[in-house]
Amino acid sequence: MSTGIVSVENKTHDERLRQQHLLKKALHRPEFGAVAGALLVFGFFGVFANDSGMFSAAGIINFLEVSAQLGILAIAAAMLMIAGEFDLSIGSMIAFAGLVVAIPVAVWDWPLWISIVFAFITALGIGFINGYLVVKTKLPSFIVTLAFLFILRGLAIGFTRLLTGRTQVGGLKEVTENDVLAGLFSGEVGQSFFTWLTEIGWLDTNFAGQPMVTGIPVSIVWWLVIAAIATWVLLMTRFGNWIFACGGDANAARNVGVPVARVKITLFMMTALAATVFACLQVMDAGSADTNRGLLKEFEAIIAVVVGGVLLTGGYGSAIGAVFGALIFGTVQMGIFYTGVNTDWFKVFMGGMMLLAVMFNNYVRKKCLI
């Protein structure tokens, strides 16, 4: 009480700073639950599906590919959810984007790459409309994007039937062969590496003498690249700081000069973009587009995101969490198939899993703030 000015220089050791256990520090990371969950899931299937070929090279690529496709959506959805918003139109956007790629090629003979570019531009536009409506009307994004869930699906069905008379547009396999952009969304990378692995005997061959795995599917590359970019953005950039701020308290963020509307609209555009990447991967893979594609994908993405430790109310979470959330989803989906359990039970498991994850996250967050 003798002086009002505090001196901090002569404080070498802070008596109020308790040494924190490393595990407890890890517990404070948003993705902790998902990483632990993934280990648990691997352990489980390691025991119960070990001799089924799930963990053979081909099996691993299999469940990684399933995880990757969902993961691409989940990472974008995670960033949007951290900013405090939902996008329920992702699934319909997948169908819509797929048809925007396929119809011009099939009906008007556009080169594939032009219609891919066209689809991406369209997606950015739709994402913008989603975001703009949410920001301007101040309605919950749940409602606005629910409307677009129906509008986009309806537009997809309406236009496709109007222009082709059917609900499926096929025959894209041939145009995929020599297209400049199609290579980004189809095939595998690192083939020579896998051939080499086979040569030195690290990788088995099948009955025809071919390697069991010929390369890494591009979807997995997309997944990892998008995860890396999203993590960089969230942790290292100004835009990332704004994303957390928007979701944590949009009003506070606005009052200190964060362009909240711009951040949210951009993220809605990103989810639409992710849906279009997903759609392109699917269209190139199947050689067709269908008005039924992407059903329920928006909810699967939300499950992956929430299991990945992102707070439903926004302001907290990570892209890595979404990656592991999607990995759990894909692993369980394929794992159930490999263990021979009736796959009808998969959805029960995923629903239960999400409930557990939310309860766990809530608990961790409370601990975090004490």
**Residues forming the site for other proteins (CB under 8 A):** 1, 4-6, 8, 11, 14, 16-17, 232, 236-238, 240-242, 244-245, 248-249, 251-259, 311, 315-316, 365, 368-370
**Are β-strands 168-169 and 289-290 bridged in parallel, bridged antiparallel, or unpaired?**
antiparallel
Region label for 237, one of left (φ > 0), alpha (ψ between -120 and 50) or beta (otherwise): beta
Which helix (H) or strand (E) segment holds residue 73: the answer is helix 57-82
Minimum CB–partner distance for residue 11 and other proteins (Å):
7
Alpha-carbon distances, residue 259 vs 77, 129, 160, 162, 264 (angstroms): 20, 17, 38, 41, 9
Minimum CB–partner distance for residue 210 and other proteins (Å):
40
Minimum CB–partner distance for residue 238 and other proteins (Å):
4
Separation CA 34–CA 303 (nearest Å): 11
Nearer to other proteins, 53 or 248 (CB): 248
Q: Are 276 and 347 in contact (CB under 8 A)?
A: no
Minimum CB–partner distance for residue 5 and other proteins (Å):
7
Minimum CB–partner distance for residue 328 and other proteins (Å):
24
Nearer to other proteins, 52 or 262 (CB): 262
Nearer to other proteins, 5 or 47 (CB): 5
Which helix (H) or strand (E) segment holds residue 163: the answer is helix 141-164
Alpha-carbon distances, residue 91 vs 109, 152, 179, 275, 337 (angstroms): 27, 9, 26, 7, 24
Nearer to other proteins, 7 or 192 (CB): 7
Largest pairwise CA distance in the chain: 88
Minimum CB–partner distance for residue 355 and other proteins (Å):
22
Beta carbons within 10 angstroms of residue 40's beta carbon: 11
Nearer to other proteins, 246 or 327 (CB): 246
- Residue for token digits 């899931």? 41
Separation CA 57–CA 197 (nearest Å): 11
Separation CA 276–CA 226 (nearest Å): 13
Nearer to other proteins, 17 or 348 (CB): 17
Nearer to other proteins, 190 or 365 (CB): 365
Nearer to other proteins, 305 or 353 (CB): 305
**What would the two tokens of residue 135 be?**
């920001």
Beta carbons within 10 angstroms of residue 16's beta carbon: 4
Minimum CB–partner distance for residue 233 and other proteins (Å):
10
Nearer to other proteins, 217 or 317 (CB): 317
Minimum CB–partner distance for residue 13 and other proteins (Å):
11
Minimum CB–partner distance for residue 247 and other proteins (Å):
8
Q: Which of 252, 194, 255, 190 is nearest to 220 (CA)?
A: 190
